[in-house]
């Protein structure tokens, strides 16, 4: 296939790691530069934006890392991985009510401190935590501050002590940890039994396709599945410049703000999507004093 620059929205299925998905996309598209916007656990499903070509330059500057999840859980059992796929390390009688959960959830909204689980990709001393865990070692971890914007109990069956949570949170939030901490705050233990990421980086699950669907569309010669590089940055305002300014700008020359439509909204260090008069996305620009400078070119 010809060179591809943009985003493919993959509905990651169970048993695939995020690395597996990248490897399959690389093979199917023939592209060398392929990455993703954020790891999704092997047993989780849902939105995994995959970056191709020049879009991989966006990995470190994606403006919206917030994510939305739907998570199933069960109280009364704990595992070493904090989910149902781990080894059971504790069982405890549980008689929690839905009302008690609703009250306890108040403490898990807003900015909270989380201790990363041992079975996670966080690096400590040059190694991933899951590598230590597989060696049977537990190492000291530092709590991280994350933000939970919304946290709702969608359902709870008191007879089975199982339910479903809806979570809207910042990047780096561990849903398994929320469930484990929630259970312990209620005097019991708990595990995550299923996880679906239904929105990431502003992309909804409904817009995604499975790897099999991607394969079928590529085989049929259909490349309409590729989203533009610009789609990653839609949370930024846009500015349209003249043809002469566009030529100067993409060649690294700053533009005087007063000579652009930004003269009335030139907030220092603010980032914009810079486009030409034909509507083509040129690059990202950033206000630096009295000029608009090239921030990242794709």
Query: Interior CA angle at 213 toward 207 and 218, to 5°?
Result: 105
**Which residue in the list 41, 72, 180, 181 is annotated as catalytic?**
41
What backbone phi and psi angles, to 5 degrees, belong to 296? -155, 130
Q: Which residues fall within 8 angstroms of residue 137, CB to CB, at 6 or more apart?
A: none
For residues 207 and 201, give the distance between their C-alpha atoms in angstroms, rounded to a whole number.
12
Q: How far is CA 31 from the centre of its chain?
A: 22
Cα R_g (the chain), whole angstroms:
22
Give the span between the Cα atoms of 212 and 153, in whole angstroms.
33
Closest Cα partner for 177 from 95, 133, 120? 120
**Active-site residue flag, 60:** no
Contacts of 75 (CB under 8 A, 6+ apart): 94, 96, 161, 162, 183, 186, 188, 189, 190
The DSSP bridge partners found for residue 196 are: 45, 70
Cβ atoms of residues 44 and 176 within 8 Å: no
Tell me how crowded residue 253 is: count the other CB atoms within 10 A of its CB.
12
Written as six digits, the tokens of 35 are 């990455």
DSSP 8-state assignment for residue 233: G
Please list the residues that pair with 148 across neighbouring strands: 110, 169
* CA neighbor of 63 nearest in space, from 207, 206, 202: 202
**Which residues form the catalytic set?**
41
């Amino acid at each position: 296939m010809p060179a591809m620059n943009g985003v493919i929205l993959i509905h990651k299925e169970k048993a695939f790691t995020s690395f597996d998905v990248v490897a399959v996309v690389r093979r199917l598209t023939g592209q060398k530069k392929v990455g993703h916007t954020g790891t999704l656990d092997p047993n989780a499903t849902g939105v995994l934006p995959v970056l191709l070509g020049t879009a991989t330059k966006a990995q470190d500057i994606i403006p919206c890392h917030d994510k939305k999840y739907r998570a199933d859980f069960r109280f009364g059992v704990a595992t070493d991985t904090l989910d149902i796929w781990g080894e059971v390390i504790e069982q405890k009688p549980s008689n929690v009510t839905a009302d008690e959960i609703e009250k306890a959830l108040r403490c898990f909204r807003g900015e909270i401190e989380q201790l990363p689980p041992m079975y996670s990709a966080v690096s400590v001393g040059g190694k991933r935590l899951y590598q230590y865990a597989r060696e049977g070692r537990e190492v000291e971890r530092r709590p991280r501050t994350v933000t939970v914007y919304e946290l709702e109990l969608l359902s709870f069956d008191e007879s089975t002590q199982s339910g479903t949570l809806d979570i809207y949170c910042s990047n780096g939030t561990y849903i398994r940890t929320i469930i484990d901490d929630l259970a312990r705050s209620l005097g019991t233990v708990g595990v995550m039994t299923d996880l679906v990421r239904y929105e990431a980086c502003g992309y909804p699950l409904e817009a995604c396709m499975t790897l099999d669907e991607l394969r079928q569309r590529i085989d049929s010669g259909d490349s309409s599945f590729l989203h533009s590089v610009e789609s990653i940055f839609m949370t930024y305002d846009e500015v349209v410049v003249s043809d002469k300014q566009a030529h100067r700008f993409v060649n690294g020359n700053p533009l005087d703000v007063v000579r652009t439509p930004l003269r009335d909204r030139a907030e220092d260090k603010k980032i914009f999507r810079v486009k030409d008069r034909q509507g083509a996305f040129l690059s990202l620009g950033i206000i630096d004093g009295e000029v608009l400078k090239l921030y990242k070119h794709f």
